[in-house]
Amino acid sequence: MKIFFLIFAFAIIFYPQNVNSQIVKYSNDFLQIGGFSSEQAMAGSNFSSISGADAGFSNPARMFSGDYKVDFSYMHCNYFQSMANFDMAAAVIDTDSLTALGLTFLRFGVDDIQNTIYLFDSQGNINYDNISYFSAADYALIFSLSRRVKSFPGLSLGANIKLIYRMEGSFAKAYGFGFDIAASWQKRKFSASAVLKDVSTTFNFWSVNSSKFDSVYLSTGNSVPENKLEQTAPSLNIGASYYWNFYRFKLLTSAALQTFFDGERNMLLHSEFASADLKLGLELSYFDLFFLRFGLSDFQHNNRFTLSDKITVNPSFGAGVSFFRFRFDYAFFASKSAGLNSNMFTLGIRLGAERH
């Protein structure tokens, strides 16, 4: 592990000086989409109470799976009328009562994109046979660690190491590295968490294949992008959750504040230094078997058509069922600003000897 960090440090120090380096707003934004269905249905407000495989991506301090030693989750979601696909799979194993290890893999991609660079030949004639297809996809492999603090009951700490690969067909590709740290504290029905993502910024090393851009492309006035080092600024999630019991029912209320430090964004709280989005959620469960969830997020100032500073919000909701070792969760969320609705499905399974 020491050798790995040493190599990474040398890669940053001695990276070619002719490569541009800058903090890019919305860099690696596919990692900000959110977690599994149970979290998305509550607008991401419940990251302070999730557990098991669902927690590795959003809150590595809470990966302990509880009654079973091993936990798996798989999620699929379509965006933009099924033009884009988002898939995520995760596994967590409790190595002992104090430690849990996790692995998460995710892909967000758009496939079968038409490449029309060679549509016109050197004489300006259209040749449809020159159309080819490519994919633009983002990948991430996340290694997670949770550790309970034995001397401080209820406190657990966590960390993520993120390896990133992004590709735009054969035109450009990027390799990235970053890490997150997290802390969570739980006492009876109350839990609170803080997750600092991209702690020292996450680095993406972009490499452009200039040979894919021929003279016809350049003659139209287009410019070839340059190789560069792109950095993702840190962001901070803080949140809390509380349970109420009503006979056979349980009500979970949760709230979170997601803060970005990459410049001003159109969010409820915003400034040149930081912008923050409020997330609220409710979950009603029956015997921990059936679940109904609701959430609110993306509070935005919308004054494009009126002089008043009207605030809009995006709702989300979902349902879930858990029985024996299996669980199934569904989430639906709408984005008024992007004009899209999305459906998300998650299937989970727990393995290993049941603990009593």
If one counts every other C-beta atom within 10 angstroms of the C-beta of residue 111, the result is 12
pTM score of the predicted model: 0.86
Q: Pairing state of beta strands 20-23 and 340-351?
A: unpaired
Closest CA to 240 of 56, 46, 34: 46
Tokens of 311: 């605030």
Dist. CA 43–CA 55, nearest whole Å: 15
Give the rounded distance of the alpha carbon of 223 from its chain centre. Answer: 32
Going from the N-terminus, what domains does the chain have, and what CATH number goes with each?
Answer: 20-351 (2.40.160.60)
Contacts of 207 (CB under 8 A, 6+ apart): 172, 173, 174, 227
Q: Which one-letter amino acid corresponds to residue 15?
A: Y
What confidence score (pLDDT) does residue 151 get?
A: 92
What residues pair up with 133 in beta bridges, in sequence order?
114
Per-residue model confidence as pLDDT tens for the chain (356 residues): 443 344 344 444 434 444 455 777 788 888 988 889 999 999 999 999 999 999 999 999 999 977 788 999 999 998 777 788 999 999 999 998 899 999 999 999 998 888 777 777 767 788 787 788 888 999 999 999 999 999 999 999 999 999 999 998 888 899 999 999 999 999 999 999 999 999 988 889 988 887 766 665 666 666 666 778 888 999 999 999 999 998 889 999 999 999 998 888 888 888 888 899 999 999 999 988 999 999 999 888 766 554 456 778 889 999 999 988 999 999 998 765 544 678 899 999 998 765 54
What confidence score (pLDDT) does residue 10 get?
A: 41
Tokens of 140: 């991430």
Dist. CA 302–CA 263, nearest whole Å: 19
Confirm if 89 and 74 have CB atoms less than 8 A apart: yes
- Give 139: exposed, middle or buried? Use CB within 10 Å, 0-12, 13-18, 19+: middle
Dist. CA 334–CA 330, nearest whole Å: 14
Give the rounded distance of the alpha carbon of 119 from its chain centre. Answer: 36
Dist. CA 97–CA 330, nearest whole Å: 30
Dist. CA 101–CA 95, nearest whole Å: 7
What confidence score (pLDDT) does residue 129 get?
A: 76
Confirm if 264 and 272 have CB atoms less than 8 A apart: yes
Residue with tokens 């098991």: 52
